[in-house]
Amino acid sequence: MGRYVVRRLLQMIPVFIGATFLIFLMVYALGDPVVGLFGDRAPDPATAARLRAEFNLDQPVWRQYLLYLGQILTGDFGTAFNGQPVIELMARSFPISFRLMLVALAFEIVLGITLGVISGLRRGGGVDTTVLLLTLVVIAIPTFVLGTTLQFFLGVELAWIDPAVGPQPGLDELIVPGLILALVSLAYVTRLTRTSVAENRRADYIRTAVAKGLPRRRITTHHLLRNSLIPVVTYLGADIGTLMAGAIVTERIFNIQGVGYQLYQGILRQNSPTVVGFVTVLVLIFLLANLFVDLLYAVLDPRIRYA
Amino acid sequence: MPDVPMKATPEAATLKATQPAVPVPVDEQPDSGPAPGKPRSLWSDAWHDLRRKPSFLISAGLILLFLTIAAFPGLFTDASPRDGDLTQFYLQQPQLTHFFSPEWLGYDAQGRSIYARIIHGTRASIIIGLTVTAIVFVLGSLVGMLAGYFGGWVDTVLSRVVDTFMGIPFLLGAMVILVSFDVRGPMVISLALAVLGWTTIARVMRGSVIQVKQADYVQAARSLGAGTTRILMRHILPNAIAPVIVVAMIALGGYISAEATLSYLGIGLADPAVSWGGDINFGKDSIRVASHVLIFPSIMLSATILAFLMMGDAVRDALDPKLR
């Protein structure tokens, strides 16, 4: 187990370097951060040169990247062009997005797996068809359409919730935004669980369990569910990273000042240290969540043991 | 004809419910395929199933309709999507009985006909969806095939490259690329979406090729002296491509959604280009007084995405021998 973790951590290094270099390249090679800083007006050449030297922008891209990597290894993510340390923006926004992600993940696990098991056990029946069709419709309606409409009905027409959340939202304020964020993944989790349950239901060990005379409830929870969850857990693990980063639309609709909000501002204003810094952390979260999921396999499936 | 999208969903529900739960065994169906005794190929088998499947027929009909609208918007409306008359039409409500006339679905806050706008907005979405899918399909299949077939260090390197591109969130990457362009046309947006979009296809293709390359017919071809290119193109590719096609169809809907999301965020197509995402963004500001400005482009967008998803689903079920 220990050796497996070490090997996986070592494998992550090239991916981490590759992904951060890729985003670095996209930000610094495609756009000109200094020009972006001046908006529509042309920058004063002397000021531009001074800024370029200050942020190492006069060096070749690969040297800029190495300098940047050296900086973040000492915990310094640089300063945004407005003078605020990027790490301060992160400390403010990551906890908010993390809470939002937790709410979304809870919806996916509770609702998604329950619906998936129910429709998987009744494959082809009325409930199954309804659930399947509902998931298709949910996937087909883009988040920004559903989010805007739901915010209007629940927040403005019915006034059940606040249409926008506060600067430090608690879990209760994040329930509706979390549901909106979760919906598409929720539909995928439902479909995945359904397929997996329907397939495993015909497995030999289920027949054995039935023949042994075990109660149906126990067969479902202990035998069927545990074996059916592996693909679902893989999906959920990969989804943690997506939910943290993919909240741009949801955070914009409900004015949540999390990672998506900061990134949206950063990208629009071509605020390079913010964008690269945030994406670097997101890549790290994505990689660690995937590792965690692989380790969880061993818990779910005793046939998988990491030497 | 264009009222079909709005009816599609409930219709699909009732039709789907009447379908037999267990597929009828092949030998009990009226045989219209090749002569009895001759085994059908995977695709002709699938086609045999699909022709009877309501969800496939509906989605195929819808896709045909959207392709026609995208190619010949002039067939559906004479009104211009860009001409606005504020004095006369400011946020005018829909006249739901005036089918296919400019006032049918009402007017937006600039006095432009919503009906004309959703008809003319189709082209951008369809072009971007198809272009991204084409690029991603070719690039992803190529990388996946090489990684799966050669294995060893080629696989290790290519898989890490795929992981690298997968590590960066899809929509974010597209935004970062697009913000550095001053003019964002359909081609630029397609490229931005394709840069990070090809990884899923590559993974599916790799898995599929690894399964296929152990088959006896590949061994036979190799022992008969077939070269690598011939084995890859004539034996591996045709047999490994099915799951990739299904994923690509479903992904096409996703790219259309992504394009609309970018336009909604203000980093996609902008005026004077007509796009559903931009119109939805515009419509949300007047949702209290004129919800039709938001609703009709949303319905068109969702119906298009739904059609491609349903098509992908139906084809996957038809190709999956486990469901027989």
Predicted local confidence at residue A51, as pLDDT: 77
Q: What are phi and psi of A158, to 5 degrees?
A: -90, -20
Q: Considering only CB atoms, which chain A residues are within 8 Å of B194? A: none
Predicted local confidence at residue B21, as pLDDT: 39
Predicted local confidence at residue B70, as pLDDT: 93
B24 has a chain A CB within 8 A of its CB: no
B247 has a chain A CB within 8 A of its CB: no
Angle, to 10 degrees, between the axis of helix A272-300 and the axis of helix B170-179? 170
What's the mean pLDDT when you consider all of chain A?
85
Question: How far is residue A60 from each of residues A67, B158, B214, measured CA to CA in Å?
Answer: 11, 26, 47
Helix residue ranges per DSSP H, chain B: 4-17, 42-50, 54-71, 86-89, 114-150, 152-167, 170-179, 186-197, 199-212, 216-223, 228-230, 237-264, 276-283, 292-319
**Percent of chain A with pLDDT strictly greater than 90:** 21
Write the residue in B164, B261, B313 that is nearest to A19 by C-beta. B164
Mutate one of A9, A26, A240 to test the B interface: name it (highest B CB count within 10 A): A26
Total number of residues shown for chain B: 324
Closest approach of A22 to chain B, Cα-based (Å): 8
Q: Which of A140, B261, B116, B253 is nearest to B269 (CA)?
A: B261
Phi-psi region of A135 (alpha: psi -120 to 50; beta: other; left: phi over 0): alpha
Q: Which of A31, A12, A33, A18 is nearest to A65 (CA)?
A: A18
For chain A, list the domains and their CATH numbers: 94-300 (1.10.3720.10)
**Residues of chain B under the 50 pLDDT cut:** 1-34, 324
Write the residue in A11, A31, A249 that is nearest to B179 by C-beta. A31
Predicted local confidence at residue A259, as pLDDT: 92
Neighbouring-strand partners of residue A85: A79
Handedness of CA A52, A56, A58, A64 (dihedral sign): negative
Burial class of A90 by CB neighbour count within 10 A (0 to 12, 13 to 18, 19+): middle
User: Whole-angstrom Cα distance, residue A145 to residue A183?
Assistant: 12
Residue type, B114: I
Predicted local confidence at residue B300, as pLDDT: 94
Give the pTM. 0.85
Q: For residue B308, how many C-alpha atoms fall within 13 Å in the half-sphere facing its CB?
A: 28
Regarding the domain delimited by B42-73+128-323, which CATH topology (the fold level of the hierarchy) does it fall under? Answer: MetI-like fold (1.10.3720)
- Which has more confidence, A208 or A61? A208
- Which has more confidence, A303 or A307? A303
Q: What are phi and psi of A79, to 5 degrees?
A: -110, 140
Put simply, the answer to whether B164 touches A144 (Cβ < 8 Å) is: no
Q: Collapsing DSSP states into helix, strand and coil, what is residue B149?
A: helix
Structure confidence by residue, pLDDT tens digits, A216-274 = 888 888 888 888 888 898 889 888 888 887 688 999 988 898 999 989 988 888 888 88
Range name among A12-21, A142-151, A164-173 with the lowest pLDDT average? A164-173
Put simply, the answer to whether B260 touches A142 (Cβ < 8 Å) is: yes
Predicted local confidence at residue A305, as pLDDT: 66
B window 284-313, beta carbon within 8 A of A: 284, 287-288, 294, 298, 301-303, 305-306, 309-310, 313
Put simply, the answer to whether A270 touches B180 (Cβ < 8 Å) is: yes
Closest CA in chain B for residue A122? B21
Closest approach of B180 to chain A, Cα-based (Å): 5
User: Whole-angstrom Cα distance, residue B168 to residue B164?
Assistant: 7
Predicted local confidence at residue A298, as pLDDT: 73
User: Whole-angstrom Cα distance, residue B59 to residue B306?
Assistant: 8
Q: Considering only CB atoms, which chain A residues are within 8 Å of B284? A: 148, 152
Predicted local confidence at residue B154, as pLDDT: 94
CA A200 from chain centre, in angstroms, equals 29
User: Whole-angstrom Cα distance, residue B45 to residue B49?
Assistant: 7
Structure confidence by residue, pLDDT tens digits, A94-140 = 999 999 999 999 999 999 999 999 998 888 788 888 998 899 999 99
- Which has more confidence, A42 or A204? A204
Put simply, the answer to whether A126 touches B17 (Cβ < 8 Å) is: yes
Which pair of tokens denotes residue B313?
């689903």
Q: State the DSSP string of A194-231.
A: HHHHHHHTTSHHHHHHHHTT--HHHIIIIIIIHHHHHH
Which pair of tokens denotes residue B220?
């036979």
Name every residue whose Cβ is closer than 8 Å to that of residue A26 and which is 6 or more positions away in sequence: B173, B176, B177
**Percent of chain B with pLDDT strictly greater than 90:** 38
User: Whole-angstrom Cα distance, residue B105 to residue B94?
Assistant: 4
Q: Considering only CB atoms, which chain B residues are within 8 Å of A31? A: 179-180
> What does DSSP assign to residue B25?
P
Q: Considering only CB atoms, which chain B residues are within 8 Å of A248? A: 171-172, 175, 265
Closest CA in chain B for residue A191? B313
Predicted local confidence at residue A12, as pLDDT: 87
Helix residue ranges per DSSP H, chain A: 2-25, 33-37, 45-54, 61-73, 86-107, 113-121, 126-140, 143-150, 175-200, 204-211, 216-218, 226-245, 248-253, 259-268, 272-300
Neighbouring-strand partners of residue B283: none
Give ipTM to 2 decimals.
0.85
